[in-house]
Structure 1
Amino acid sequence: MNNFTKLSLFTVLATTTIFSSCKKEYESIQRVDDAAIKSYIAKNNLTSMQQDPDKTGFYFQVTNPTTGDLFLNKDSVLYDVVIKSMQSGNQYLKSPVNGNLGTYVGYLNNFFQSSLSTSTTYNIPALRTATLALKPGGVARILLPSYLAFGRNGAGGIPSNENLDVTITTYPYKKQWQFDDVKIQNFLTAKGLTATKDASRVYYITTAAGTGTETITETSTVVYKYTGRLLDGTVFDSSTDGTYSTTLQYLIQGWKAIIPKFTAGAKIRMFIPSDMGYGLSGNGAIPPNAVLDFDIEIVSVTK
């Protein structure tokens, strides 16, 4: 056998060995994860857990079946998600209390959460598959092996090769504004408040009528005192010393809709749906799809 033939044979054998070892390692992870999940199911008596239809390796169950039609890929879904460790029970991720997540069902496999401290979008088809087994308002629990989740690299606080217990809770609303309107109405009822609903879907309460004569336009310079809260009372911004000055063009849509109805001296409280505030992206301490609660005093108006 000449040197060239020997070298070629060695290369083929080495390549075969490498790929074989990689395959064995990958299959080993599958076996280890599957054994762990089956043990978890038995230990916690999760008898309703079923293997996913495509036998990719995750298990799930519908814990709140509700009524209506099943989700389709084309449907919008408003949801919350909780992710915790199967091994330790540690909670790694939970949707914000004052907001919720939302996308199309068909996009649910592209999972991204900024609280994971990463800019990576993860491909987790199990979220979509489980949601397609739900009707709006339904809840699913997913047991997710590490190799179908965040793998050996982990993500944020989720360590390497971590099997996960995931709960996805959907809401019975097709549009975010519908959900926001219910949130506002429930808040008003719970607090015994009566508010006017504007055509913009912003609710407002007038606590003091304005005494000024200047109308507020896009170019008016207005000085405000204000406090902004989330619906649980968390203050995310405040300026109560009467030094905050701006024109309407730099304000969120909710302010733009209501402020021109008043003059200097007015005191109002506004409940702003998320699409008239900071929407799906949120802003700093304001989570995605958060309803905003503002106390506002219009100090002065200058043309």
Structure 2
Amino acid sequence: MHNKSTTSKTSTYLFALFTVFALLTSCKKEYETTEELDNRNIKSYKDVHSSLTFTDVDGYSYGITDPGIGSTLINTDSVFYSYTFKSTSGKVYYQTSDISISGTFLGYTDRFAIGNSVYTFKPIREVLGRLKRGGKAVLLLPSRMAFGKNGLSNFGIGSNETIVVELGLYSFEKRHQVDAFEIQTFITKNNLTFNTDPSGIKYNLITMGTGAELVSPTTTFVCNYTGKYLDGTIFEKGTSQTDILSSFVKGWEVLIGRISAGGKIRIIVPSHLGYRNTSDPNTVYYPLRHLYASDKVLDYDIEIISVTKD
């Protein structure tokens, strides 16, 4: 005959042991569940997009849709690239555009400022490194390598989301090629009409003005102006500002001989005639130069109020 007390103690011990085992299993399973969820999402995407061939590497998958042409790139090569962060269902979260092209050394293409945080996505650099100029690829970034359990609510990215990253390398090797492409894309997209100065600056002389003195390197003038990037962001603004041409970016020299008091002009300035013009980053030639992006095309609306000959 069994002792009820002994049986009760044995049952309690077994229950406690089972509870500990369940807790340990649960802790282990939580990590496995995240990985399994990532794998399931990636597999589901691959099934739907069966026309693409994917390669699995270190937990992520990628498919090259266009290998590009030319020589193999190394981390110290300058590259200009595009990216689109999407959900597996196709919702776009974050992307570049053809009027604001990212450029850096290949070795730095894993760094992204999104919202108020900086993220490092090593797989993006690795996949871009497998392309040649003009190439394109699709990267399936599992949540544990992307935004994790917390997601990114400001961009609508939920918990444990697999991110589809569409990547591309432009064929351009030089910044001036990118500037020309961005400017022409902007003009065509907005159905604008501009003249082209020999310097490469695009200008639209709205009205020449009626003043006796034209703007020259030796005149002092009063102006209103607004400086924008091609995406519409205003980076600089002046109202009834008295100055001389050398106080502004090199691109303003396109005004010389074209405009007088009462005149209005719009100019689109390539980056080498903007805040990238000087070789000395500490020069005072461009006031507050460090506040502006040195690799950006600049879009100015300028009104000349008066011109005074020195």
TM norm. shorter chain > 0.5: yes
**2:307 is paired with a residue of what secondary structure?**
strand
Query: Contact between 1:65 and 1:139, CA under 8 Å: does it hold in 2?
Result: yes
**1:71 partner letter:** L
- Listed as ranges, the matches of 1:16-165 within 5 Å are 25-52=30-57, 56-86=58-88, 88-96=89-97, 98-113=99-114, 117-118=115-116, 120-155=117-152, 156-157=154-155, 158-165=157-164
Aligned 8 A contact 2:245 2:253 in 1? no
- Answer yes or no: is the 8 Å Cα contact 1:184–1:291 preserved in 2: yes
Q: Separation in 1 of the partners of 2:272 and 2:144?
A: 36
Contact 1:268/1:296 (<8 A) preserved: yes
Whole-angstrom distance in 2 between the partners of 1:249 and 1:135: 42
SS at match of 1:153: coil
**Inter-CA distance 122–203: structure 2 relative to 1 (3 Å threshold):** same
The answer to whether the Cα contact below 8 Å between 2:221 and 2:305 also exists between their aligned partners in 1 is no
Shift of 1:125: 0.7
Residues 228 and 236 of structure 1 are in contact (CA less than 8 Å); yes or no, is this contact kept in structure 2?
A: yes
The residue identity in structure 2 corresponding to 1:133 is R
How far apart are the structure 1 equivalents of 2:35 and 2:171? 36
What do the CA deviations read for 1:243-301 (whole angstroms, capped 9, x no partner)? 5324258965255443455552344331212454478xxxxxx9995534434332212
Question: Secondary structure of 1:37's partner?
Answer: helix
Q: Give the drift of 1:103.
A: 1.6
Letter in 2 for 1:247: D
Identity value in percent: 33
Unaligned segments of structure 1, at least 5 residues: 1-16, 280-285
Instruction: Give the whole-Å Cα distance in 1 for the aligned partners of 2:245 and 2:194.
Output: 30
Deviation at 1:209, TM superposition (A): 4.8
Which residue is equivalent to 1:268?
Answer: 265
The alignment's C-alpha RMSD in Å is 3.9
How many pairs were matched up? 268
- Amino acid in the other structure paired with 1:74: T
Please point out which of 295, 300, 306 is paired with 1:294.
Answer: 300
List alignment gaps of at least 5 residues for structure 2.
1-21, 277-291
Does the C-alpha gap of structure 1 residues 216 and 78 become closer, same or farther in structure 2, counting only changes over 3 Å? Answer: same
Match of 1:8 in 2: none
SS at match of 1:45: coil
The 1-side partners of 2:252 and 2:194 are apart by 23
CA distance in 2, matches of 1:288, 1:64: 31
One-letter amino acid of the counterpart of residue 153, structure 1: N
Cα 1:278/1:29, change in 2 over 3 Å: farther
Deviations 1:172-225 (A, max 9, x none): 112222211233356668756432132xx433355655643375558934223x
Equivalent residue, structure 2, for 1:175:
174
SS of the aligned residue for 1:66 comes to coil
Displacement of 1:24: 5.3
3-state DSSP of counterpart to 1:92: strand
| Structure number with larger C-alpha Rg | 2
Residue pairs, 1:210-289, within 5 angstroms: 211-213=211-213, 216=216, 220-224=220-224, 226=225, 244-248=240-244, 253-260=249-256, 262=258, 264-265=260-261, 266-277=263-274
| Equivalent-residue separation in structure 1 for 2:214 and 2:258 (angstroms) | 9
CA spacing shift, 1:69–1:61, aligned 2, 3 Å: same
Deviation at 1:164, TM superposition (A): 0.6
CA separation in 2, counterparts of 1:135 and 1:46?
Answer: 22
Q: How big is the shift at 1:90?
A: 2.2
Q: So what's the TM-score if we normalise by structure 1?
A: 0.71
The answer as to whether partners of 2:214 and 2:258 remain within 8 angstroms in 1 is no
Give the 3-state SS of the residue equivalent to 1:154 in structure 2: coil
Aligned to 1:4: none
Residues 19, 70 of structure 1: alpha-carbon distance in 2 compared, 3 angstrom cutoff: farther
CA contact (8 A) 2:229 2:299 kept: yes
**Structure 1, residues 95-151: CA drift from partner, whole Å, max 9, x if none?**
2453122221101122223xxx22x22121111111011111211111110011111
Shift of 1:32: 2.3
Q: Secondary structure at the match of 1:134?
A: coil
- The question of whether the paired residues in 2 share the 8 Å contact of 1:219 and 1:248 is answered with yes
